[in-house]
Structure 1
Amino acid sequence: MAREIKYYIVAANALPEIFVKVAEAKRMMQTGEADTVGAATKQVGISRSAFYKYKDAVQPFNDMKAEHIITFYCMLKDNTGVLSSVLSVFATSGANILTINQSIPTNGCAAVTISAETSGLAETLEKLMADVAAVDGVVRVEVLAG
């Protein structure tokens, strides 16, 4: 009979230091700050064996309430550079693109959904949407979720 796994949310300062260091080593590898497990574990001050022992059991909690993730829906003309121009508007505004999904164009247009973390916006959401709508080739832009 398989043992049921239970999960708990625990403040980092209540955890044994090894768990926090394993999470930090995993983060360093994901962001490219460390190229190997050996380099990451050396930088955080733990052994490779400790890392491998706990790596699958330790996951950082991403507080979604602290972030501002918004999914935008855009209808774009199937012209070269339109999506690139839209993404440039997001980058200039300070939004951090998380996902991009584009359908295969039909009737000269493609549906695109863009999820972005918007807590770093240098402008209002309304201004961002107006700037995207002003891009040549954008037929429609709206907020789907957020």
Structure 2
Amino acid sequence: MQNSDYLIVHKKILPEYFNQVIQARSLLENHEVETVTEAVKKVGISRNTYYRYKDYLFEISDNATSRTMTISLLLKDESGALTAVLQTLSKAQASVLTISQAIPVGGYATVLISLDISKMENTPDNLLKQLLKHSYVRKAQLDAIA
């Protein structure tokens, strides 16, 4: 049995507030509301519930041929670190859509990468584990999948 941090489950078996967290995030992303307070009030959950689960709940798109994944990485500020990450992504057949890198602070830089994973044979979880094997990757996190 493969040891993965991610599950795909039907929302029928989950508490309703999981769906409400996704609804609140959608309201914010679509600019239907301006603040988290407005979003959580509109869907009927607490701010605490929203912040507790917002980074862990994702909806999967029905369009399986154009799957996208967004990951955030914390990389050591070393020459070649981003290049090696991109090589790992390329070997996994993940096509880079966007890259956003922050200025390094305290020897580390935050990098946000959006990927087309429709041709990727590896699982998103295994890809993150491959990235974490590099000595310059301090953190690798799945932010969204659609």
TMscore range, shorter length: 0.5 to 0.7
Question: 1:86 & 1:67 partners in 2: Cα distance?
Answer: 22
CA contact (8 A) 1:82 1:136 kept: no
The residue number in structure 2 matching 1:142 is 141
The residue number in structure 1 matching 2:74 is 75
Which consecutive unaligned segments of at least 5 residues does structure 1 have? 1-62
Aligned counterparts, 1:80-119, within 5 A: 80-119=79-118
Letter in 2 for 1:137: Y
Q: By how many angstroms is 1:64 displaced?
A: 8.2
Following superposition, which runs of at least 4 residues in structure 1 exceed 2 angstroms of deviation? 63-66
SS at match of 1:86: helix
Moved more, 101-110 or 119-128: 119-128
> What TM-score results when the alignment is normalised by the length of structure 1?
0.55
> Root-mean-square deviation (CA), in Å?
1.6
Question: 2:88 & 2:82 partners in 1: Cα distance?
Answer: 10
User: Matched residues, percent identical?
Assistant: 30
Q: By how many angstroms is 1:122 displaced?
A: 2.1
The residue number in structure 1 matching 2:126 is 127
Aligned counterparts, 1:9-48, within 5 A: none
**Greater relative contact order (Cα < 8 A, sep 6+):** 2
Question: 2:118 & 2:130 partners in 1: Cα distance?
Answer: 18
Letter in 1 for 2:86: L
